[in-house]
Amino acid sequence: MFSDVGSLDIYTSTKKENFERTAQAVIDEVHKLFREGITEQELSRTEERVFSQTQLVMDSPLAMANWFGIEELLITPKTPDTPEKQAQKIHNIKLEDVHNVISEIFVPEKRNFIVVGAFSWLGKKHTITLLK
- By the 8 A CB rule, do 47 and 91 touch? yes
Q: What pLDDT is attached to residue 88?
A: 86
Find the mean pLDDT for residues 19-48.
90
| pTM of this structure | 0.67
CA distances from 111 to 20, 21, 75, 104 (A): 18, 19, 25, 12
Q: Answer yes or no: is pLDDT of 50 > 50.
A: yes
Nearest Cα to Cα of residue 92 among 41, 42, 43, 55: 43
- Per-residue pLDDT reduced to its tens digit, 67-122: 788 877 777 667 777 888 888 888 899 999 999 988 888 887 887 777 777 777 66
Rounded to whole angstroms, how far apart are CA atoms 29 and 123? 20
Using left for φ > 0, alpha for ψ between -120 and 50, and beta otherwise, residue 17 falls in alpha
Q: Which domains does the chain have, with CATH numbers?
A: 16-131 (3.30.830.10)
Top pLDDT among 21 and 4 is at: 21
